A and B are shown apart, each in its own frame.
Chain A
Amino acid sequence: MGLTSWGTLSLLTLLTLGCMAATVWAWPRVAFRGIRAAGVRALLIAGCQFAVLLTLVTALNAHYLFYGSWTDVLSAAGGGAAQARHHPAGANAAAATRVVRTVQAGLGPGPRAEHVPAKDGQVERLDIRGVRTGLSSEAYVYLPPQYFQRAYAAKRLPVVLFLAGYPAADRLVWIHQGHVPEDVARAQAAGRIQPMIYVMMRPTVVRGRDTECADVPDGPQVETFFAQDVPEAVAEAYRVPRDRAGWGLAGYSTGGYCAAKLAMLHSDRFSAAVSMAGHFHALLDTTTGDLYGGSETLRRSGNLIWRLRHLPAPPVSVLVASADVGEKTYPSARAFMRAARPPLVVDEILLPSGGHNFKTFRKYIPPSIRWLSARLRGE
């Protein structure tokens, strides 16, 4: 029975009801005096509460999809991740990142039946296997209608790489919760944005581990995957710009940190990034494990605020989307904005209040897309 299945939820609900019924039934039997009996009574109430909370947490998880499976939970609780085992490639090993492209007709905006790519655009799925890192991931790509129109056959539309938060168990989080294709279609119909290609991914390419898009010493090279393998895969599958002016990033939470970091450290590949409710310092906790080879110096290199204060500022534009009240990463964002100086340019979207959840993120997404549209240039 899966973690998010109705079966598990039903079982837990029955368990809870059973606990309560048992307490009511056992009531007279523990009604006499004495410390032991009092203890048992308290324990019964606590036991019921435990069952209630377990059911509630499981139900919330099933709704928000923090963790998609038992493995996800156990890996996260364990903190460590299985070291990626690299199998030596055979003689016919691919000379470039491998990409498999399939159409996902039902996921795009517009009516399911009579779906016409040149009118509605199209969502496709890429299965990417990085040749330099050995890491694999899916990407869901929304191609605008213009990509399929003859007038644009020789054009290279700008690309935005979307990175979700951690753990974002739902691989379609950008579509199901972010509603990106819908928002894009609406903005484009209203003439507010230029046609762009949206590559929607999750930074969780190693199961159960928040790698914060780092090249982990002696571990998964996630930064290289997103900076080198993924752009190569996207360029392999679609007509995309060759210049950094046509490449941007956007993400929420950990994905926001990833977007800003990738743009800053690979400003020869990307020219703009949006961080929605993202932090700017280098995390270290039970879900990340040791990302820095035990070195505090190395950890500082991943602290984007430290980098702005001590290293040359890279020539990129960054949009910080956050909320004054309720967004725990706002202090980190403020420190980043204070440290920013040309040629790195910072803009800000600030809501008066908003929690660290998708209800708020959905408010950041349309203006972020408009901001990117104004800055990226196709070819």
Chain B
Amino acid sequence: MTLEPVSAALIGPVCLLALGGVAGALVLWRRLAGPGVRAVLARSGLLLATQVTLTASIVLLANRYFVFYATWNDLLGNDPANVRVEHVQPQGAEGGLVDRTTLKRDPVEGGRIDHLKIHGIRSGVNSDAYAHLPPQYFQPAYAAEPLPVVMLIADGDPTRWLRDVPRAQPVIYVSVGVQGACMDVPGRRDGLAETYLAQDLPAAVASVYRVPRSRAGWGTAGIETGGQCAVRLAMLHSDRFAAAASLNGRFATPAGDLYGGSDGYRRSNDLMWRLQHVPPPPVSVLAAAGTGSEEAGQAERFAALAKPPMRTETSGAQKPKDVLTWLGARLRVPPGE
């Protein structure tokens, strides 16, 4: 039976002693109430004893409750720690992030379109993506240079974007199809869409192509629901993306049971609310929509609410190519990357 600070074998007697001391003081009170130095000394001694035992009891009880020091050795001892690291489970082989196959080479200009099978290890999403590499990617002048990356988020056919990309700027386009809201829905176990787009996809792309290391060279773009997704990604992951473009996107919060039943969380995911209540992230955003449309109205409101260091523009452009040109002009690869 050990007498560690948290053991009942120690605490019990000390508490009894304290109670006994208090009882004793109360009982002996009148006997020590007389005048004279001896009486005063006796009183003081008895009072001190009650205080000491009471304090000891309370300290031991508190220590037992909060478990500050479980053993005397813990409190007083000074053994050098003899610690060993134990491996709890064997290291598993880390699977590949992406399988790449070339679909089409452009014989005239020298560009290339690849089909990627992305294994989203963090998100659990395994999905197809299409990468368009510009001719410059294969030219000797750019042999050691990373090129900016634009992630295109399509509602339907992910290859739709890639038929007509701007040729002027050398940019790598990676197009993916995303269904529904691109969020990590709390409590949902299948498919963390936001983690896929913000973490898995960039990591997969970086593992197969020469891409920038910093956010200055990464952008997102999308059409309609994909547009809102693109802007949301840049705003919430502005450590990874520097610019976003939305073509005919709306900025209303996606409806549905996506917020774990929390109004506060739903507000945090409302891009318009964020513009009014949360510090603006350091990204550039283009909200393009057909003139006079409802989307244009929303784009105007969005741009009006955005403040520095967030820079927002609106435009009546309707062609994906124009939107991508705007984006390409705002991405760059800093020297030394």
Contacts of B259 in A (CB 8 A): 293, 295
Which residues, 264 to 288 on B, are CB-close (under 8 Å) to A?
A: 264-265, 267-268, 277-282
B144 to chain A, nearest CB (A): 16
- Beyond A132-B281, A218-B264, whether A319 also contacts B122 by CB under 8 A is no
Say which residue of B35, B44, B278 sits within 8 Å of A20 (CB atoms). Answer: B44
Kindly state the separation between the CA atoms of A49 and B55 in the bound complex, as whole angstroms.
7
A326 to chain B, nearest CB (A): 3
Kindly state the separation between the CA atoms of A23 and B89 in the bound complex, as whole angstroms.
63
Contacts of A351 in B (CB 8 A): 81, 83
One of B129-137, B168-176, B197-205, B321-329 contacting the partner: B197-205
A275 at the interface (CB under 8 A from B): no
A318 to chain B, nearest CB (A): 9
Closest residue of B by beta carbon distance from A87: B279
B187 at the interface (CB under 8 A from A): yes
Contacts of B75 in A (CB 8 A): 355, 359
Closest residue of A by beta carbon distance from B87: A347
B25 at the interface (CB under 8 A from A): yes
Kindly state the separation between the CA atoms of A134 and B309 in the bound complex, as whole angstroms.
12
A150 at the interface (CB under 8 A from B): no
Say which residue of B29, B120, B260 sits within 8 Å of A31 (CB atoms). Answer: B29
Kindly state the separation between the CA atoms of A23 and B43 in the bound complex, as whole angstroms.
9
Kindly state the separation between the CA atoms of A90 and B308 in the bound complex, as whole angstroms.
7
Whether B267 lies near A217 (C-beta < 8 A) is yes
Say which residue of B50, B81, B198, B260 sits within 8 Å of A45 (CB atoms). Answer: B50
Say which residue of A24, A92, A355 sits within 8 Å of B40 (CB atoms). Answer: A24
Kindly state the separation between the CA atoms of A114 and B203 in the bound complex, as whole angstroms.
46
Which residues, 65 to 88 on A, are CB-close (under 8 Å) to B?
A: 86, 88
Kindly state the separation between the CA atoms of A328 and B48 in the bound complex, as whole angstroms.
34
Please, what's the 1-or-0 string for B288-319, where 1 marks a CB less than 8 Å from any CB in chain A? Answer: 00000000000000000001110000000000
Kindly state the separation between the CA atoms of A356 and B74 in the bound complex, as whole angstroms.
10
A5 at the interface (CB under 8 A from B): no
B9 at the interface (CB under 8 A from A): no
A192 at the interface (CB under 8 A from B): no
A131 to chain B, nearest CB (A): 6
Kindly state the separation between the CA atoms of A315 and B122 in the bound complex, as whole angstroms.
7
Kindly state the separation between the CA atoms of A224 and B208 in the bound complex, as whole angstroms.
28
Which residues, 176 to 231 on B, are CB-close (under 8 Å) to A?
A: 186-187, 189, 192, 198-199, 202-203, 213-214
A18 at the interface (CB under 8 A from B): no
Whether A93 lies near B309 (C-beta < 8 A) is yes
Say which residue of B51, B81, B279 sits within 8 Å of A363 (CB atoms). Answer: B81
Number of A-B contacts (CB under 8 A): 242
Kindly state the separation between the CA atoms of A346 and B90 in the bound complex, as whole angstroms.
9
One of B64-72, B99-107, B108-116, B154-162 contacting the partner: B64-72
Contacts of B279 in A (CB 8 A): 86, 89, 130-134
Whether B22 lies near A45 (C-beta < 8 A) is yes
- Beyond A27-B29, A31-B30, A355-B70, whether A340 also contacts B89 by CB under 8 A is yes
Say which residue of B89, B186, B268 sits within 8 Å of A342 (CB atoms). Answer: B89
Whether A298 lies near B260 (C-beta < 8 A) is yes
Contacts of B199 in A (CB 8 A): 266-268
B202 to chain A, nearest CB (A): 7
| Chain B interface bracket (under 10, 10 to 19, 20 to 34, 35 or more) | 35 or more
B26 at the interface (CB under 8 A from A): yes
- Beyond A27-B32, A49-B51, A326-B67, whether A218 also contacts B74 by CB under 8 A is no
Say which residue of A89, A310, A350 sits within 8 Å of B308 (CB atoms). Answer: A89
Contacts of B260 in A (CB 8 A): 292-293, 295-298, 301
Contacts of B29 in A (CB 8 A): 27, 30-31, 41
Contacts of B123 in A (CB 8 A): 312
Contacts of B16 in A (CB 8 A): none
One of A7-15, A159-167, A226-234, A249-257 contacting the partner: A226-234
Contacts of B263 in A (CB 8 A): 293-294
Which residues, 1 to 52 on A, are CB-close (under 8 Å) to B?
A: 20, 23-24, 27-28, 30-32, 38, 41-42, 45, 48-49, 52
A253 to chain B, nearest CB (A): 12
Whether B122 lies near A312 (C-beta < 8 A) is yes
Contacts of A116 in B (CB 8 A): none
Kindly state the separation between the CA atoms of A300 and B94 in the bound complex, as whole angstroms.
27
Closest residue of B by beta carbon distance from A33: B30
Contacts of A342 in B (CB 8 A): 89, 91-94
- Beyond A93-B308, A132-B279, A325-B70, whether A312 also contacts B121 by CB under 8 A is yes
A349 at the interface (CB under 8 A from B): yes
Say which residue of B33, B189, B277, B307 sits within 8 Å of A28 (CB atoms). Answer: B33
B238 at the interface (CB under 8 A from A): yes
A107 to chain B, nearest CB (A): 24
Whether A52 lies near B281 (C-beta < 8 A) is no
Contacts of B87 in A (CB 8 A): 347-348
Whether A131 lies near B67 (C-beta < 8 A) is no
Whether B74 lies near A311 (C-beta < 8 A) is no
Contacts of B143 in A (CB 8 A): none
Kindly state the separation between the CA atoms of A310 and B83 in the bound complex, as whole angstroms.
32
Whether A326 lies near B50 (C-beta < 8 A) is no
Say which residue of A217, A314, A354 sits within 8 Å of B268 (CB atoms). Answer: A217
Whether A328 lies near B71 (C-beta < 8 A) is no
Closest residue of A by beta carbon distance from B122: A314
Whether A27 lies near B33 (C-beta < 8 A) is yes
Whether A345 lies near B309 (C-beta < 8 A) is no
Query: Can you add 17 more A-B contacts, CB < 8 Å, to A52-B54, A311-B192?
Result: A20-B44, A49-B50, A86-B279, A96-B309, A130-B279, A228-B238, A228-B239, A268-B202, A293-B262, A297-B260, A298-B265, A311-B189, A314-B122, A326-B67, A337-B88, A349-B83, A355-B70
Q: Supply 10 A–B pairs (Cβ within 8 Å), ascending by A.
A: A20-B48, A38-B26, A45-B26, A52-B55, A89-B308, A93-B309, A319-B85, A342-B89, A353-B74, A355-B70
